[in-house]
Structure 1
Amino acid sequence: MKSEDTPFEGGPMDGRVLPVLLGVTGHPPKTYRIPVPDAAGGPPTVLVYRRVPRAHGKKLGLHQGWKYEYDPTGQAGRRRWPWSRPDATPGGKPDATDG
């Protein structure tokens, strides 16, 4: 399998470059999750990074590789319509638009 040195921005991994395995299409995964063990023996904290284009070329506007940016929310970037339902409101009740 091929790997590519990919920079990380923001969060605890800011400024580090790690080799990330590439998929079948030659791109790194859209999200990169890093489990960090708890010192007290509790459940691990998971750091979530999202893939974004590194830079755009001047002539054709194509991106020149990928980088990962820290996602402090750690939630999915978008819904996979129509197979997923909207998240419940913070109070635990479903949205009023749900039928």
Structure 2
Amino acid sequence: MKSADTEFVGGPLDGRILPIPLGPMYGVPKTYKVPVPAHGETPARTLVYIRAKQQRGARWYWRYEYDEAASARASG
């Protein structure tokens, strides 16, 4: 399975570059959900990142930006 190294902006994954599996048309998914298990007193939650186009010079690439509102809805 092919993957693309994709940058994460904002939220707990800010600045990280992770390999994201590519879809059938070799694109990254529109949303990326990261389940975070419960730890001690902290309840389980889901982090939601939204795909955004980033341009660098004449080239562009996808990156994920943290969506705080969607993360709050997903976590219940």
> Please, what TM-score do these two structures have when normalized by structure 2?
0.82
Cα distance change on mapping 1:43 and 1:16 into 2, 3 Å: same
**What are the equivalent positions in structure 2 for 1:58-69 lying under 5 Å apart?**
58=58, 64-69=60-65
Runs of 4+ more than 2 Å apart? 40-43
More helix by share: 2
One-letter amino acid of the counterpart of residue 38, structure 2: D
The one-character-per-residue Cα deviations of 1:7-37 (angstroms, maximum 9, x if unpaired) are: 0000000000000000011110000000111
CA distance in 1, matches of 2:16, 2:62: 14
Which of structures 1 and 2 has the bigger CA Rg? 1
Residues 1:74 and 2:73 aligned together: no
* Percent identity (aligned): 48
CA distance in 2, matches of 1:37, 1:48: 14
Compare relative contact order (CA 8 Å, sep 6+) and give the higher one, 1 or 2: 2
More strand by share: 2
Unmatched segments (≥5 aa) in structure 1: 76-99
> Please, what TM-score do these two structures have when normalized by structure 1?
0.64
Partner of 1:8: 8
Please state how far the C-alpha of 1:6 moved relative to its aligned partner.
0.1
What value does the CA root-mean-square deviation take over the aligned residues?
A: 2.0
